[in-house]
Amino acid sequence: MEYKTINGKLEHRLVVERFIGRELTKEERVHHIDKDKKNNKIENLMLFKNDSEHIKFHNKVRQFGMTNNIKKLIENRWKNYLKQN
């Protein structure tokens, strides 16, 4: 499955950049919550500071399922991110 691009940039990265008001670093990773790579609505996207944090998230979901803590993290993802930056 290929990601959609616009002017050579990945659409999901552009959506997040517009939302947070800056370009993403090369290390930052955008996650599709519903696993549909074509669904690039901001409500379906999550930003991780690097591959390591993204992998940790996937491992927690695989190991424990969608716990209340994970659901809360998803629900508050932009509030939490914008507070940190």
Both structure tokens of 63? 């190991």
At 79, the pLDDT band (50, 70, 90 cuts) reads confident
Residue 42 region by backbone torsions, left for phi larger than 0, else alpha for psi between -120 and 50, else beta: alpha
Both structure tokens of 5? 């691009």
In the chain, where the domains are located: 5-84
What pLDDT, on the 0 to 100 scale, is given for residue 77? Answer: 87
Q: What is the pLDDT of residues 15-62, one digit of tens each?
A: 999 999 999 999 999 999 999 999 999 999 999 999 999 999 999 999
